[in-house]
Structure 1
Amino acid sequence: MSLYARFATALDAILDDLTAAGTLPADLPRKNVSVEPPRDASHGDLATNAAMVLAKPAGTNPRALAGEIASRLEKVEGVTAVEIAGPGFINIRLDEVAWRDELAAIHAAGADYGRSRTGEGEAVNIEYVSANPTGPMHMGHCRGAVVGDALASLLEWAGYRVVREYYVNDAGSQVDTLARSAHLRYREALGEDVGEIPEGLYPGDYLKPVGAMLAEEYGDRWVGKAESEWLPLFKKRTVAAMMDLIRVDLALLGIHHDVFASEAELQEAGKVDEAMRTLMDKGLVYEGTLEPPKGEVPDDWEPVELTLFRSTRFGDDQDRPMKKSDGSWTYFGADAAYHLQKAKGVDHLVNIWGADHAGTVKRVQSAVTALTDGKVDLDVKLVQMVKLMRAGEPIKMSKRSGNFVTLADVVREVGKDVVRFMMLTRKADAMLEFDFAKVVEASKDNPVFYVQYAHARISSLHRKAKALGLDKGEADLSLLDGEELALVQKAAQFPRIVEQAALAHEPHRIAFYLYDLAAALHAAWNRGNDHPEKRFLIEDNPEVSRSRLALARGIGQVLRNGLKIMGVEAAEEMR
């Protein structure tokens, strides 16, 4: 159990005592009670808002309640002082033994330090990437892929059971267009001069191998035949080939999904009808007309009777059509069925979507609530675009013209770890710039380098200590002074950062934290450059060297654990 968790448990026991004594009412919600570092380090080592959160519902004065809590906190092992600040915040000071014990706990837990049981084994389905299978992965897909994969890893660290899912959009007009494009390349592979790729088809060379494969397998069997004869087969075979290509591209980023769900198979299995019947049984589907669009109404607009879902009952701004006027399913109808399928056997759903899907979030959440009777929640994380730059100049892309930067090209140029780390250096819904020159720059302004360099420095310490024979014997952690233990205080925040990031579904918090921890390590290293007695290794003082080596080893462990969540390797040396 981490230091913050230990004190949270101690605080919980104190609140239990106050409840038993009648000071606090029974069953008072404690969800928002926290134990965290104070905003100003001079105020202490820990702070809690317990009195501020609980006083009002308990019908008591915050400072008076803070006094009751503080008097009990003073008796907790490791506490040297407790102070009440402002209207009722409680600041706690710890003795140095508490931080030395936490460093020992980091060593003991090793690769598992920071793992928790916050999720209590609840199941989460995370759907991410889900790019249309119409070509290779490009950088427009990259950010959502990394955010989703890092979030999956983060939730596993926090004790959830995670299913990683990819929704294959293999039904609809774009797949028909893909099949026609493949048929053109098939004819080309058989020797036909196809000339310029017709407008509306996919022009990329990535379909040439698919055409060659189909030509080798079928010969000229499908040349000159009616489209209705070959289209279903070419759709199936081309989508399969594109998904193989996508899997290879994702593997370059270390991304592997547990489930690939097919939209076409969903519809063929009657799952959309099943979802519709479920909603009809609940009285949530009716035949009606939509209101005219807001703003200027088009001259040709006419009210059309449609099959509508009562999404306004769940907070949406209007009811949503499940079927088109021609009787075919809308995208929303298929989405509702897909989410019903995903919701079976899990407690939570998370979707990682591009920001252009913002308008559909509320209706899909409404459908999930309706279809599961509110038992399964859906959180949608919207991911903003990545602006590609090279030495400050923007790179223009057009997928339709076949001119785009593939994910594979970027990974080969700068490496998987750089790509993954950079995708997590901003909150997902904030725009991100990816400059090919800056992401490989050896400077403090490059967070990838800065964090990797911190770990590489620690690795170099171990190599040097071994060469000097300073790595033998037990480390006496009592030799670490307050300045050095400040590093432990920063490292000790890792478990609570993992829990908070997991609850918020925000893996970028890990990247932010690792940058701060790396900065603290670099600052300690630089103090040694200015003052030789503060160096991590001192050849004529093996006892102090061993204690500082143990400190560095603990910081390195936390850096590795955080990087593992992000799917990034920890560098042993910088090249």
Structure 2
Amino acid sequence: MNLFTELRSLVIAELAAMVAAGELPAGLDTTAVAVEPPRDPAHGDMATNAAMVLAKPAGLAPRAIADALARRLATDPRVSSAEVAGPGFLNLRLQPGVWQGLVKAVLEQGTEFGRSTVGAGAKVNIEFVSANPTGPMHVGHVRGAVVGDALANLLAFAGWQVTREYYINDGGAQVDVLARSAYERYREANGLEPEIREGLYPGDYLIPVGEALKAKYGTSLLDRPEADWLVDLREFSTAMMMEMIREDLAALGVRMDVFSSEKALYGTGQIEAAIETLRGLDLIYEGVLEPPKGKTPEDWEPREQTLFRSTAHGDDVDRPVMKSDGAWTYFAPDIAYHYNKVQRGFDQLIDIFGADHGGYVKRMKAAVSALSGGRVPLDIKLIQLVKLFKNGEPFKMSKRAGTFVTLRDVVEMVGADVTRFVMLTRKNDMALDFDFDKVLEQSKDNPVFYVQYANARINSVLRKAQGAGVAVDDATLAGADLALLSHSAELALIAKLAEWPRLVEVAAKGNEPHRVAFYLYELASDLHGLWNRGNDEVTLRFVQEDAGVTQAKIALARAVGVVISSGLAILGVTPVEEMR
């Protein structure tokens, strides 16, 4: 039940009636006509921009259209008033019965309330995390993992078919460094002093890898040249690191559908096939790039390279795919990997990268545009840094990792639910401060606590009513006399509930899961506000002497709890039923 969609359909129908009556010209495009919550709730329950967006193509004054449309809308039984404001904005107020009926709908639909079909079953691939398999995940990966997983939940709730994918960066030089680092821990396991020289990974997390290597190889690799063991140790160490990463993700409540390997692209013809496809589109050529903008490096010299004509698809400059020595650039396997995703039949691709990948956005979008013929859109979300604080000071070190705070450090200190919610309290492209003290603080300033406290309060009042002999199952509450919910504060809370289905669609269309966290905080705030008013106005308390009145008020509280649970499920957070 999406009241905003229903009222928009009413507006569109009345506009069509105005065309039929000769009040508007035929052929008007109503795509941009919207029905939204007004910026100021005092102006009404909903507002439509119909007159403003149709005035110019209709050749009429906005207010003339708005006046005529208002007269028609006011005759609908759901509308109590339709008022024109300013140059032609149209504000609507709905009958109380509409809001009361929404409470019934929430209770009948449960957590399915708000589920949408706007995705129309389209197949979307979300690639996220994709950390190098060289060690445990750090706090920066946490944010990307949470954003990606919550976005996947959101899109599935809104009607998309979602695939969560992890791209294993196991084809670069960093896995050779991993193998060399593991070899030193293998020597350590055999009683020798490890030589953790500069450039190797120093973290203690490689000690178990060294012990596992000893268990497999004994002393047979000691004093052997690198060429004899590098390949085997690279594969062995990468496999153990990926197992660690899977465990890290599981601790955060994240499970991938697909793990794809960069290494698997080499020697299989996939990179060559992708580049040849671009060549067939006349997008690959031999050329020399201009020197870098700004101060030219001293060692820069013009060299002929194999280039992708990415400027033909919106990039600023063309990009090299093969070096002058014939080796592939880092960009080439990424092109092949995305081509693979296009070939798998996805209708939409989403990549969630760290902020340091900003220069990669246009070239990757250009490649996908070219390889899909413009059919498959690619949205790239950049995740800004997370700054950690504890006791008012920056929190920086993890002995186990050597140089950074790990995902496990964070989850063990505050829990997965708190971690996930906090990571969504800022939009992905904004830096986020994560204060270990504040995220556990029981105050309104802590959105995690504030939302969970609202849910706990709802459950406490349900238990209190049940203890007084009042039936509080959803079916009974849905059949209560909801016309008793007539106070303006109660209707305002229901109006906030009504925004949930619209919020789901808006957030899903924009790939913005943080909107769900923002909405839940606002809904919790409204619930707390009504609860606190009950301290002074007895008639607003959820439990009353009259069982019928109690059931109606409990029905509203329960409906809020349903939506909070639904929203938290999208965020991957477990609702708390009782605060301790």
TM over 0.5: yes
CA–CA distance in structure 1, aligned partners of residues 274 and 29 of structure 2: 36
How far apart are 1:62 and its partner, in Å? 2.1
- Contact persistence 2:455–2:561 (CA under 8 A): yes
Structure 2 match to 1:251: 250
CA–CA distance in structure 1, aligned partners of residues 27 and 233 of structure 2: 62
Structure 2 match to 1:298: 297
Structure 1 match to 2:524: 518
Structure 1 match to 2:43: 43
CA–CA distance in structure 2, aligned partners of residues 64 and 530 of structure 1: 46
Structure 1 match to 2:221: 222
CA–CA distance in structure 1, aligned partners of residues 276 and 467 of structure 2: 72
How far apart are 1:298 and its partner, in Å? 2.6
SS, match of residue 328 in structure 2: coil
How far apart are 1:31 and its partner, in Å? 3.5
After superposition, the C-alpha distances for 1:65-88 in whole angstroms (9 at most, x for unaligned) are 223432332232311111121222
Residue range with higher mean Cα deviation, 171-180 or 78-87: 78-87
SS, match of residue 266 in structure 2: helix
Structure 2 match to 1:260: 259
**Where does 1:406-421 land on structure 2 (aligned, <5 Å)?**
406-421=406-421
How far apart are 1:554 and its partner, in Å? 0.5
Aligned letter for 1:265?
A: A
Structure 1 match to 2:364: 364
How far apart are 1:7 and its partner, in Å? 1.2
CA–CA distance in structure 2, aligned partners of residues 236 and 75 of structure 1: 72
How far apart are 1:329 and its partner, in Å? 1.1
Structure 1 match to 2:439: 439
How far apart are 1:113 and its partner, in Å? 0.8
After superposition, the C-alpha distances for 1:271-315 in whole angstroms (9 at most, x for unaligned) are 111110010000001100110111222333210001011111122
Structure 1 match to 2:542: 536
Residue range with higher mean Cα deviation, 321-330 or 488-497: 321-330
Aligned letter for 1:434?
A: F
Structure 2 match to 1:178: 178
SS, match of residue 286 in structure 1: strand
CA–CA distance in structure 1, aligned partners of residues 229 and 58 of structure 2: 72
How far apart are 1:335 and its partner, in Å? 1.2
Structure 2 match to 1:269: 268
How far apart are 1:26 and its partner, in Å? 5.9
Structure 2 match to 1:424: 424
- Contact persistence 2:135–2:401 (CA under 8 A): no
Structure 1 match to 2:347: 347
Aligned letter for 1:490?
A: K
1:84 and 2:89 are equivalent in the alignment: no
Residue range with higher mean Cα deviation, 481-490 or 370-379: 481-490
Aligned letter for 2:110?
A: G
CA–CA distance in structure 1, aligned partners of residues 170 and 357 of structure 2: 18
How far apart are 1:226 and its partner, in Å? 2.6
After superposition, the C-alpha distances for 1:200-242 in whole angstroms (9 at most, x for unaligned) are 1111111111111121112223223332222111111111111
Structure 1: where are the runs of 5+ without partners?
none
How far apart are 1:192 and its partner, in Å? 2.2
CA–CA distance in structure 1, aligned partners of residues 398 and 384 of structure 2: 17
1:107 to 1:395, Cα distance in 2 relative to 1, 3 A: same
CA–CA distance in structure 2, aligned partners of residues 23 and 563 of structure 1: 47
CA–CA distance in structure 2, aligned partners of residues 380 and 16 of structure 1: 39
How far apart are 1:32 and its partner, in Å? 2.6
- Contact persistence 2:204–2:399 (CA under 8 A): no
1:265 to 1:365, Cα distance in 2 relative to 1, 3 A: same
**Where does 1:28-427 land on structure 2 (aligned, <5 Å)?**
28-194=28-194, 196-344=195-343, 345-397=345-397, 402-427=402-427
- Contact persistence 1:391–1:438 (CA under 8 A): no
After superposition, the C-alpha distances for 1:54-109 in whole angstroms (9 at most, x for unaligned) are 22234433222223432332232311111121222111111100000111111111
Q: Count residues in correspondence.
A: 573
Structure 2 match to 1:557: 562
Aligned letter for 2:483?
A: S
Aligned letter for 2:535?
A: N
After superposition, the C-alpha distances for 1:419-470 in whole angstroms (9 at most, x for unaligned) are 0000000111111000000000000000000000000000001111111112
SS, match of residue 286 in structure 2: strand
CA–CA distance in structure 2, aligned partners of residues 502 and 426 of structure 1: 16
Aligned letter for 1:90?
A: L
Q: CA RMSD in A?
A: 1.7
How far apart are 1:338 and its partner, in Å? 1.0
How far apart are 1:398 and its partner, in Å? 8.1
- Contact persistence 2:253–2:572 (CA under 8 A): yes
Aligned letter for 1:52?
A: M
How far apart are 1:191 and its partner, in Å? 2.4
CA–CA distance in structure 1, aligned partners of residues 186 and 440 of structure 2: 41
Aligned letter for 1:166?
A: Y
- Contact persistence 2:305–2:320 (CA under 8 A): yes
1:469 to 1:189, Cα distance in 2 relative to 1, 3 A: same
CA–CA distance in structure 2, aligned partners of residues 276 and 21 of structure 1: 58
Aligned letter for 1:209?
A: P
CA–CA distance in structure 2, aligned partners of residues 273 and 261 of structure 1: 18
How far apart are 1:9 and its partner, in Å? 2.2
Per the normalisation by structure 1, the TM-score is 0.96
1:502 and 2:508 are equivalent in the alignment: yes
- Contact persistence 1:179–1:238 (CA under 8 A): yes
After superposition, the C-alpha distances for 1:20-69 in whole angstroms (9 at most, x for unaligned) are 55665666443332111111112111111122122223443322222343
SS, match of residue 428 in structure 1: coil
- Contact persistence 1:470–1:546 (CA under 8 A): yes
SS, match of residue 426 in structure 2: coil
Per the normalisation by structure 2, the TM-score is 0.96
SS, match of residue 285 in structure 2: strand
Residue range with higher mean Cα deviation, 276-285 or 467-476: 467-476
After superposition, the C-alpha distances for 1:478-516 in whole angstroms (9 at most, x for unaligned) are 111232121101111011011101111111111111111
SS, match of residue 452 in structure 2: helix
SS, match of residue 6 in structure 2: helix
CA–CA distance in structure 2, aligned partners of residues 229 and 66 of structure 1: 80
Residue range with higher mean Cα deviation, 309-318 or 497-506: 309-318
CA–CA distance in structure 2, aligned partners of residues 134 and 23 of structure 1: 68
CA–CA distance in structure 2, aligned partners of residues 211 and 524 of structure 1: 60
1:29 to 1:146, Cα distance in 2 relative to 1, 3 A: farther
How far apart are 1:187 and its partner, in Å? 2.1
1:25 to 1:316, Cα distance in 2 relative to 1, 3 A: farther
How far apart are 1:396 and its partner, in Å? 2.4
How far apart are 1:534 and its partner, in Å? 2.2
Aligned letter for 1:182?
A: A
SS, match of residue 141 in structure 1: helix
- Contact persistence 2:146–2:423 (CA under 8 A): yes
1:347 to 1:28, Cα distance in 2 relative to 1, 3 A: farther
Structure 2: where are the runs of 5+ without partners?
none
- Contact persistence 1:2–1:102 (CA under 8 A): no
Percent of aligned pairs with the same amino acid = 57
